[in-house]
């Protein structure tokens, strides 16, 4: 197995700068999630805000992706394409996923936003998905942690709550590249036995479904939805393994 990149303090600082801008953009985009707004308006804001702060939106043009960010509503698992016809309504759960490049380094983060009053199931799913991400991050910071500990911790929480973990989309190393090695499974596995090393930078971004874990891609070639039409929720941080545990690099300043 190839050794996973170890980043130095300077590189980590640059990823932290990119991550902070991504996080600050995400908070403001989240505040726009009100009934009646369309997702293109939110995406335009993300593009403008990123540009104004000297960043580049990594998604636009990535393998032909057409917009600045991904906005995924309800049964959309990930890679929802912002557009003028998708209008937020009361009860929607919305993931906004922002990846920002600053000084050549990437920061990648996403969060869920509830529009108006959402169902108890939707709220439980959003909260559980957040806890899954947090427990995945915590597991990555334990003494002697291996990459498989992340998926195992996440799967435990999903199972306890009667939800499922998406297997078709994964976490990833990140730095100068958007998606670097390794690919990180969020589900229970015994495949990722490598130890997490100090200086490894990667994302934890579990997608949790209310129903079955399966997904399918719509004809636009991007939008991933649950195969059974059930709700899906996701949270994401970019993190670095440190000598004491984990530092989250996608926090606002």
d(CA 104, CA 96): 22
Residue 92 touches which member of Co ion, ligand MF3, none, C-beta under 5-8 Å by kind: none
Number of residues that bind Co ion (CB under 5 A): 5
Nearer to ligand MF3, 115 or 224 (CB): 224
Structure tokens at 237: 């941080």
The answer to whether 92 contacts Co ion (rule: CB under 5 A) is no
* DSSP string across 70-130: EEEETTEEE-PPP-TT-B--TT-EEEEEEEEEETTEEEEEEEEEE-SS--HHHHHHHHHHH
The residue within the footprint of Co ion, chosen from 11, 43, 75, 97 (CB under 5 A), is: 97
The residue within the footprint of ligand MF3, chosen from 70, 77, 150, 166 (CB under 6 A), is: 70
The answer to whether 135 contacts ligand MF3 (rule: CB under 6 A) is no
- Please, what is the minimum distance in Å from the beta carbon of residue 117 to Co ion? 27
Burial of residue 220 (number of CB atoms within 10 Å: 0-12, 13-18, 19+): exposed
d(CA 124, CA 128): 6
d(CA 28, CA 193): 38
Residue 237 touches which member of Co ion, ligand MF3, none, C-beta under 5-8 Å by kind: none
Nearer to ligand MF3, 17 or 97 (CB): 97
Residues that bind Co ion (CB under 5 A): 97, 108, 203, 205, 236
Residues that bind ligand MF3 (CB under 6 A): 59, 62-63, 65, 70, 79, 97, 99, 108, 205, 236
């Amino acid at each position: 197995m190839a050794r996973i990149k170890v980043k130095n303090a300077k590189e980590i600082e640059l990823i932290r700068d990119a991550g902070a801008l991504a996080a600050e953009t995400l908070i403001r985009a989240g505040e726009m999630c009100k009934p009646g707004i369309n997702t293109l308006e939110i995406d335009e804001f993300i593009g403008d805000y990123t540009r104004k702060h000297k960043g580049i939106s990594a998604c636009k043009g990535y393998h032909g992706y057409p917009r600045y960010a991904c906005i995924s509503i309800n049964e959309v698992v990930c890679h929802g394409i912002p557009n003028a016809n998708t209008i937020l309504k009361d009860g929607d759960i919305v993931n906004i996923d922002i990846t920002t490049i600053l000084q050549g380094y990437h920061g990648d983060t996403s969060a869920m936003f509830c529009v108006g009053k959402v169902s108890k199931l939707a709220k439980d799913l959003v909260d559980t998905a957040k806890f899954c991400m947090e427990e995945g991050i915590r597991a990555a910071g334990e003494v002697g942690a291996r990459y498989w500990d992340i998926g195992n911790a996440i799967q435990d929480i999903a199972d306890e709550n009667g939800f499922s973990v998406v297997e078709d989309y994964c976490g990833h190393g990140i730095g100068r590249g958007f998606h670097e090695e390794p690919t990180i499974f969020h589900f229970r596995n015994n495949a990722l036995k490598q130890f997490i090393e100090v200086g490894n930078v990667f994302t934890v971004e579990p997608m949790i479904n209310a129903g079955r874990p399966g997904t399918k891609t719509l004809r636009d070639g991007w939008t991933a939805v649950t195969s059974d039409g059930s709700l899906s929720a996701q949270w994401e941080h970019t993190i670095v393994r440190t000598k004491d545990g984990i530092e989250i690099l996608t926090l606002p300043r």
